Amino acid sequence: MNHLAVAGDETWHLPRHAHVIVHETPDGNEFITIYDCGAAQKPPSAQLIGNLVRVDADHELLNQPTGYIAKLREESTLEQQGDDHFVIRAE
């Protein structure tokens, strides 16, 4: 899973100020890009194709023309559920 810290089996740690950018793809999936912090000027920590089903952590949601951005407000985990479904949960 690129450069995310492993938190368990099919679970990865997300920092408190992570930005999760979700773009809808023509085939019905989503292209998910994860940055450690929106203010940091460095490459993304992870990029994956799947579906972000839910965000159960404190966050701000910004709608965009091609998807949305979830700006996390607390440390959380990205959990894989099935082949291509993901959930973000508070730690």
The per-type count for the chain, helices as H runs and strands as E runs, is 0, 9
H/E element, 80: strand 76-81
Q: Kindly report, residue by residue over 27-80, the tens digit of the pLDDT.
A: 888 999 999 987 878 899 999 999 999 999 999 999 999 999 999 999 999 999
Q: Which two tokens stand for residue 49?
A: 């194709």
Residue bearing tokens 């023309």: 65
pTM given for the model:
0.92
At residue 52, φ and ψ (nearest 5 deg) are -85, 105
Q: Which two tokens stand for residue 75?
A: 């440390």
| Residue 25, burial from CB neighbour count under 10 angstroms (0-12, 13-18, 19+) | exposed
Per domain, the residue ranges of the chain are 6-90
